[in-house]
């Protein structure tokens, strides 16, 4: 089942490192080529020789070597891999990766990788539950990495708690599942927009909206995972930039439209998740507006370009997917928009429900095409919803 797959097994310094020997053995038994990268503290628990004997591959531990191979090791390692598994993943490697720290071979390999990365944490429960580690794990998930949660039980330090490495069976199953997913968007080019545009009133003020960008970023991450050449045109957000996307930062709707038109001709699909402001100040001013004597101030607005509507007018073969964030008559309004804007699919979400939609990690959507409802997606994480949206894109592209 893993025949032809190359798996990098990153082993970091936890007592659970001995279980990585079993993981390697199981992956090899299923046909994989396993290349082990060990941190220096991992070598204190298990010797590189154990893995070398088992995997019949050299074990990498050093960032700087005199090895004369043509490619630099931390780059070539991830180039060769189908997937990277870090098991056991210590608090140290998790917190480092979440912050882009690259100070040894494993962390550098992770930063340079453009293949799926899976972490299987193992550590003391206090370290696992600490705010720093939890935040880092959430960041890793937001980057699109998978985390195989540790289990409850007796820990090496004698305490009971959460932090035991997941069962070897579970880890191997996840690897099989992840590697089985085809790169079904290979050779496809997709442009995604995200975030709420900022329409400048003066040098210090702007009009914007509550979009966090989470949905669009999750879609961009999913697209790259599935092999698409992804361009993410993003209005300002507080999210980490996804890895391996062509990232274009914009501020207002006109900038977003200009950038979009640069990429539109050559792309296969556009997913417009950005909350583009419908209006913009008619006359932005270059100096900060001061209070006036009356104490009142009125702002004249003009219409912004409807970016996706314009794309709907000029499109050739491109698939267009839009969003409809509504507070009433969700399906009816979505149906109207798909026609008006000449879209292939529309993702309708009810933003009047407080626990889903804007700023939240969860969403609940209905996907429609021109004929009607394609799928109702119940409340789930934006990452999972992104996967379903990309599945639907694949269906339409085929």
Helices (H), the chain: 17-29, 42-45, 48-55, 73-80, 91-98, 105-112, 125-129, 131-142, 168-180, 214-225, 253-264, 307-314, 330-340, 382-397
Q: Which residues pair with 302 in a beta bridge?
A: 280
Give 205 or 309: the residue with its C-beta nearer to ligand C5P. 309
Q: Choose between 94 and 308: whose C-beta lies nearer to ligand C5P.
A: 308
Cβ proximity to ligand C5P, 306 vs 364, nearer residue: 306
In whole angstroms, give the CA distance from residue 291 to residue 312.
Answer: 43
User: In whole angstroms, how close is the CB of 42 to ligand C5P at the nearest point?
Assistant: 46
Say if strands 269-272 and 205-207 run parallel, antiparallel, or are unpaired. unpaired
Q: How far apart are CA 146 and CA 108, in angstroms?
A: 18
Measured on CA atoms in the order 70, 72, 75, 81, is the torsion positive or negative? positive
Q: State the residue for tokens 């095409």.
A: 369
- Residue 388 CB contacts under 8 Å (≥ 6 apart), including other chains: 367, 375, 377
Q: Which of 72, 132, 152, 157 is catalytic?
A: 157
Query: Distance between CA 367 and CA 381 in Å, rounded?
Result: 16
Q: Which residues bind ligand C5P (CB under 6 A)?
A: 253, 272, 274, 276, 278, 304, 306-308, 322-324, 337
Helix axes 73-80, 105-112, angle to 10 degrees: 50
- Residue 271 forms beta bridges with which residues? 192, 321
Cβ-based nearer residue to ligand C5P, 91 or 271: 271
Question: From the CB of 241, what's the least distance to ligand C5P, in Å?
Answer: 20
Q: Closest distance between ligand C5P and the C-beta of residue 349, in Å?
A: 11
DSSP-derived pairing of the beta strands 269-272 and 319-326? parallel
Query: Considering the complex, what minimum distance in angstroms separates the CB of residue 378 from ligand C5P?
Result: 22
Nearer to ligand C5P, 1 or 314 (CB): 314
Q: Is 157 a catalytic residue?
A: yes
CA distances from 172 to 20, 29, 86, 213 (A): 11, 11, 12, 33
Nearest approach in angstroms of CB 218 to ligand C5P is 15
Separation between Cα atoms, residue 151 and residue 167, nearest integer Å: 8
Would you say the C-alpha torsion 88, 121, 101, 247 has a positive or negative sign?
positive
What is the smallest separation between the CB atom of 271 and ligand C5P, expressed in angstroms? Answer: 8
CB 20 within 8 A of CB 11: yes
Q: Within 13 Å of residue 165, how many CA atoms lie on the same side as its CB?
A: 28
Please report how close the Cβ of residue 240 comes to ligand C5P at its closest, in angstroms.
22
To the nearest 5 percent, what fractions of the chain are helix, strand and coil? 35, 25, 40
Decide whether 45 or 279 has the Cβ nearer to ligand C5P: 279
92 or 231: whose CB is closer to ligand C5P? 231
Active site residues per annotation: 157
């Amino acid at each position: 089942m893993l025949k032809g797959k190359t798996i990098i097994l990153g082993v970091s310094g936890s007592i659970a490192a001995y279980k990585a020997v079993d993981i390697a053995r199981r992956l090899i038994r299923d046909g994989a080529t396993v290349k082990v990268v060990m941190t220096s503290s991992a070598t204190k628990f298990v010797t590189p020789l154990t893995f070398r004997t088992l995997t019949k591959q050299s074990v990498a531990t050093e960032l700087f070597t005199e090895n004369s191979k043509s490619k630099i090791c931390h780059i070539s390692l991830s180039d060769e891999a189908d997937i990277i598994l870090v098991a056991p993943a210590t608090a140290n490697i998790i917190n480092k990766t979440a912050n882009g720290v690259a100070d040894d071979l494993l962390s550098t390999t992770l930063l340079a990788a453009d293949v799926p990365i899976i972490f299987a944490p193992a550590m003391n429960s206090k370290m696992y539950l600490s705010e720093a580690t939890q935040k880092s794990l959430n960041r890793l998930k937001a980057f699109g990495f998978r985390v195989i949660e540790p289990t409850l039980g007796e820990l090496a330090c004698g305490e009971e708690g959460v932090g035991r490495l997941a069962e070897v069976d579970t880890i191997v199953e996840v690897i099989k599942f992840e590697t089985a997913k085809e790169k079904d968007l290979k050779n496809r080019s997709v442009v995604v927009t995200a975030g709420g545009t900022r329409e400048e009133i003066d040098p210090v003020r702007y009009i914007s909206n509550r979009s966090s960008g989470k949905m669009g970023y999750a879609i961009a991450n999913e697209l790259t995972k599935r092999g698409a050449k992804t361009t993410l045109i993003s209005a300002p957000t507080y999210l980490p930039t996804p890895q391996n996307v062509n990232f274009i930062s914009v501020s207002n709707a006109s900038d977003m439209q200009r950038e979009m038109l640069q990429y539109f001709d050559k792309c296969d699909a556009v997913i417009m998740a950005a909350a583009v402001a419908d209006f913009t100040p008619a006359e932005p001013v270059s100096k900060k507006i001061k209070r006036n004597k009356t104490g009142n101030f009125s702002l004249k607005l003009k219409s912004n370009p409807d970016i996706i509507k314009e794309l709907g007018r000029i499109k050739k073969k491109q698939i267009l997917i839009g969003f409809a964030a509504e507070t009433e008559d969700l399906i009816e309004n979505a149906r109207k928009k798909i026609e008006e804007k000449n879209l292939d699919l529309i993702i309708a979400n009810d933003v009047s429900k407080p626990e889903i939609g804007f700023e939240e990690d969860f969403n609940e959507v209905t996907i429609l095409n021109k004929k009607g409802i394609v799928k109702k997606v119940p409340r789930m994480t934006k990452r999972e919803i992104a996967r379903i949206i990309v599945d639907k894109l694949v269906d339409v592209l085929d």
